[in-house]
Amino acid sequence: MGKPEILTKTQIASGKWLFLEEILYRDTHGAERKWDSVSRIKKTGAVAVIATMKPSGSLILVRQFRPPAGGHVIEFPAGLMDEGETPEMAAARELFEETGYSGRITRTTPPLYSSPGLSGETLYLVHMEIDETDLKNQNPETDFDEGEHIETFLVPLKELRPFLETACKKGDLLDARLMGFAEGIQKNGVSGRT
């Protein structure tokens, strides 16, 4: 068997933020195949912020309308990396813009792929601790981008599953990363660590 190889990428269509491309590749058996993929215009990746309040251990979650999903989604604060930003810089900026909180980065994952059958976009999970005793985190003020309306929730880790179940019953949708995190907590127990 041979090694798969990308032969060409051809842009098929483009919008304001995304473009569709056709990828021609050679599979492990040497056959040429085609695949459709979506890419972002002028963006270098995305971040999702797993932010935990200290000392309480509450998790910061957001709820916002996501047009492609057709509803309000409960998720981690997240956003796109700007040109020249590191994942950590983007995470700190997005957390502040969406929630008004700022904190200390404790770790960052390597680049991940949230939907590799659809897009080659990379995603970094950035873990942050938010000192809730710090005066700047006492009355956080958001700095939304135009068109954003985001609600912030502080959810104790032990109450995460019931919170998500209640949100679903009300008609909210759940982000896969958040649900995977909640499943891990249920399986491994609540430790207050992220």
Cα–Cα distance measured from residue 174 to residue 171, given in angstroms and rounded to the nearest whole number: 10
Say if residue 192's pLDDT is above 90. Answer: no
Model confidence band, residue 190 (pLDDT cutoffs 50, 70, 90):
low
Picking from 25, 43, 42, the residue whose alpha carbon sits closest to that of residue 34 is: 25
Computed on alpha carbons and rounded to an integer, the radius of gyration of the chain in Å comes to 19
Q: Write down the pLDDT at residue 144.
A: 76
Q: What is the pLDDT of residues 132-185, one digit of tens each?
A: 999 999 889 887 777 779 999 999 999 999 999 999 999 999 999 999 999 988
Q: What is the pLDDT of residues 77-136, one digit of tens each?
A: 999 999 999 999 999 999 999 999 999 999 999 999 999 999 999 999 999 999 999 999
Q: Write down the pLDDT at residue 194.
A: 44
pTM over 0.85, yes/no? yes
Domains of the chain, by residue range, sit at 5-40, 46-188
CATH topology of domain 46-188: Nucleoside Triphosphate Pyrophosphohydrolase (3.90.79)
Q: Write down the pLDDT at residue 193.
A: 47
**Cβ within 8 Å of residue 48, ≥6 positions away:** 75, 76, 77, 78, 123, 124, 125, 126, 177
